[in-house]
Amino acid sequence: MTPETPLEIDPTDVSSLLARPGERTFRLIDCREESEWQICHLPDAQLVPLSRFGELVPQVFPNTQEHVIIYCHHGMRSLRAAQFLRHHGFAHAQSMSGGIDAWSDMVDPATPRY
């Protein structure tokens, strides 16, 4: 990752990163609410609801150098979350454009849409 890490990342690129063999070089964060998480979520994602993001950041994100990819339903909340992290020194925070809805459309049609 470079300091010029784009703010948004395409679902197909996230899928490629998830498919890479070896140790994962990023953390996948779902910023939707618990009720949405129960409908569907991506494998190995961690739930950090946007409604609690500010209070949870110090505990959940101790390393500002970490590559974090955040997603939500359509990509708006995750964009706000990524911008929030960037404002707090996380140069490698990214939002998955289009959210889990785009994931279902572009990567895995078996992912439930709602």
- Return the closest-CA partner of residue 75 out of 91, 97, 50: 97
Active site residue 40: no
Three-state secondary-structure class, residue 58: helix
- Return the closest-CA partner of residue 33 out of 53, 55, 11: 53
Which of the following is catalytic: 48, 72, 96, 107?
A: 72
Residues designated as active site: 72
